[in-house]
């Protein structure tokens, strides 16, 4: 398995060379969104309204960070179970999303959308949210503040450790 240092801006271009099981240290802008936020995002799309961030080549992290600890940019920020976003992911991928970050397997519709769109699914280590927070240098709520910890946030990653869970050819660490 290979190891890569990538920025979020490089994910779309790098996706064809990434293979399930590869390690990635990711830096750059990432947006948080969990199931309630995904439902609201799709509602905005259905109404023809603008989303709070540009989906084109974006990376979404399925996380709901805890309150910020003193001296840190963010509180504990581990991944949530990705399958909860499966009903929404194909639409977002078709609209330009380049990468999703979470934990656990995805359904076949999501896997097909990853292949169809040349995207990638990256897995973060569950249970290590406090350590993951050390790789996040900034956090700003940008939408759905009424969701509390599940609001949509703009994060800046610095060498956040990830594993390629599903690559753009359909390779998967889950099979």
For β-strands 120-123 and 99-102, DSSP reports them as parallel
Write out the chain in H/E/C secondary structure.
CCEEEEEHHHHHHHHHHCCCCCEEEEEEEEEECCHHHHHHHHHHHHCCCCCCCCCCCCEEECCCCCCCCCCCCCCCCCCCEHHHHCCCHHHHHHCCCCEEEEECCCCHHHHHHHHHHCCEEEECCCCCHHHHHCCEEEEEEEECHHHHHHCEEEEEEEEEEEEEEECCCCCECCC
> What is the distance between the alpha carbons of residues 123 and 82, in angstroms, rounded to a whole number?
9
Is 69's pLDDT higher than 90? Answer: no
Are 11 and 55 contacting, i.e. CB atoms less than 8 angstroms apart?
no
* Cross-strand bridge partners of residue 23: 3, 163
Asked whether the whole model's pTM tops 0.75, one would answer yes
- Give the model's pLDDT for residue 70: 86
What's the pLDDT score for residue 61?
98
What's the average model confidence in pLDDT over 15-20?
98
Q: Is 173's pLDDT higher than 90?
A: yes
Domains of the chain with bracketed CATH: 3-166 (3.20.130.10)
For tokens 């240098």, name the residue: 137
| Cα–Cα distance list, 154 to 32, 33, 36, 96, 142 (Å) | 7, 10, 17, 17, 7
Active site (annotated) includes residue 175: no
pLDDT (0 to 100) of residue 127: 86
Selecting among 12, 34, 38, 103, the annotated active-site residue is 38
């Amino acid at each position: 398995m290979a190891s890569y240092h990538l920025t979020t801006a490089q994910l779309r271009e790098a996706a064809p060379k990434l293979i399930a099981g590869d390690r990635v240290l990711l830096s750059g802008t990432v947006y948080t969104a969990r199931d309630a936020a995904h439902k609201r995002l799709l509602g905005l799309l259905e109404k023809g309204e603008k989303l709070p961030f540009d989906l084109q080549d974006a990376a979404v992290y399925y996380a709901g960070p805890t309150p910020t600890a003193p001296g840190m940019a963010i509180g504990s920020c581990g991944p949530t179970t990705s399958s909860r976003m499966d009903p929404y992911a194909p639409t977002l991928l078709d609209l330009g999303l380049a990468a999703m970050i979470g934990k656990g397997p995805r359904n076949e519709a999501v896997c097909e959308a990853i292949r169809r769109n040349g995207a990638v699914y990256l897995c973060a280590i569950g249970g290590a949210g406090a350590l993951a927070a050390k790789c996040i240098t900034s956090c700003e709520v940008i939408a759905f503040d009424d969701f509390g910890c599940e609001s949509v946030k703009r994060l800046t990653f610095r060498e956040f450790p990830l594993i390629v869970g599903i690559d753009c050819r359909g390779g998967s660490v889950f099979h």
